[in-house]
Structure 1
């Protein structure tokens, strides 16, 4: 099976389907920071044109790091970021922040940190249950109309929430948890596929589990690939709207991940993998 290697987000923003999730770039020392900068730069050297970040990743520090590593950006590089969550010292360490004024402030902060005039893909990290959805998406639509945002995406939504959002504003992407061994959001993926919406699965590899599954290990051996590459290749074959964004802070692991689009499953291998489950 040969899967397309690129996808046009919103029909006009062409990116390599196999992207990079920058969440793990959270250095605590100067040496670790140098390593993180090197990973981000190596991702671009290897042809990544989609990098995913968020305000939540270090509360802006991840965006700062990407700007330090990559600005001025290559003309074909899309850095997608997310807003709608703020840091708190209580509970889980974060809270929803979907008030229009807060969303506007977060977008301005992201523009400054990333050294951008416009965020080509801005995703709402979580829907805020305390703010009417038209208010949240209306604020992002206004920012789009003002030229600060190019396209609007969502994260962790249901099929019904996606439909409600699409009645308010054009939705370019959805970022939900999804991988070969965790397909809870298959209905959302299919809704995205029907509408031509990019689907960015977070946790696309199911870390620590893929290599332990007998069917995945068997296919990896047949293809002289790693289990990680096999599960990423399955995602690329599973739907043309899937844009995996595996993350790592290690260059060797990055190179392994990005080698997945050279792994071609046969139909029989794809079907065997599709039958894999947590009970394997």
Structure 2
């Protein structure tokens, strides 16, 4: 039987509104294939289903997904539905809207009036009557623009009972302040990890001060982003991994979780062995020397 020190519970919990989640969760993007958004070799359906079920066994109760996580043969949402429905009572599924992909894989961005259709698509694929958390995924080209019209549209869907809680993704502190005037924000989901720029570090701290969860993506992949962890890992990360007898991915996850009790990890994988390693990272404690070495990369912005 798996002990608690090897489960997602080892890193503690955080509340997304009235929903309590273990701080180590799971990102569903890599379930659909070998490359970004499943555009490479299709995943093995049974293996993806088994990874999801194993994640639940290991205590994961926070899964991040999106309707645009699909390949010609696989859909992350439908894999989640097949693997986990009927869903455990404590499972929190978070998804994202505004971004979308048509059947050919081309990206498109929804108008405020189109967000309901994106929400309903997630509901249909997941087989649910409401969504636990919906993140408004802000386009890179809109980083300096108002999100009020889009966020207000999601707030209306929340009032209608289709959504329980709201978050924002790829956001700035200005976006958070604007959104909070419209409806409560339970989480911010941004790219973040070892070597993140100072501005993102400050935003992470500000979220904690406001009681808002900070949910990093690409915490393991880093500059590899959708393609996965880079082949040439930074020597400092490798040195810390050797000193602690863990993998570089576990170093990156342990460091990320150390940034604050409000920080939630959502590492994704289609590999059952990597899943176990990722979850176990929640119980890893880095030495002060190891943290200092990694912090030097933060200060250097590497």
With normalisation by structure 1, the TM-score equals 0.89
1:106-185 map, 5 Å: 106-126=118-138, 129=142, 133-183=147-197, 185=200
Residues 31 and 249 of structure 1, relative CA distance in 2, 3 Å threshold = closer
Determine if contact 2:211/2:262 at 8 Å carries over to the other structure.
yes
Residue in 2 that maps onto 1:6: 13
Q: Which runs of 5+ in 1 are unaligned?
A: none
Residue in 2 that maps onto 1:265: 286
Offset of residue 185 of structure 1: 2.1
Residues 230 and 4 of structure 1, relative CA distance in 2, 3 Å threshold = same
With normalisation by structure 2, the TM-score equals 0.83
Residues 31 and 55 of structure 1, relative CA distance in 2, 3 Å threshold = closer
Instruction: State the Cα deviation string for residues 56-99 of structure 1 (Å, max 9, x = none).
Output: 11189211111011101111111111111222589x92121132
Residue in 1 that maps onto 2:207: 192
Q: CA–CA distance in 2 between the matches of 1:71 and 1:78?
A: 13
Offset of residue 215 of structure 1: 2.5
Q: CA–CA distance in 1 between the matches of 2:301 and 2:210?
A: 32
Determine if contact 1:19/1:49 at 8 Å carries over to the other structure.
yes
Q: Secondary structure at the match of 1:172?
A: strand
Offset of residue 230 of structure 1: 1.1
Residue in 1 that maps onto 2:61: 49
Q: CA–CA distance in 2 between the matches of 1:15 and 1:25?
A: 21
Q: CA–CA distance in 2 between the matches of 1:81 and 1:194?
A: 24
Q: Which runs of 5+ in 2 are unaligned?
A: 1-9, 223-227
2:30 aligned with 1:24 = yes
Q: Secondary structure at the match of 2:258?
A: helix
Determine if contact 1:123/1:152 at 8 Å carries over to the other structure.
yes
Determine if contact 1:55/1:85 at 8 Å carries over to the other structure.
no
2:117 aligned with 1:96 = no
Offset of residue 42 of structure 1: 1.1
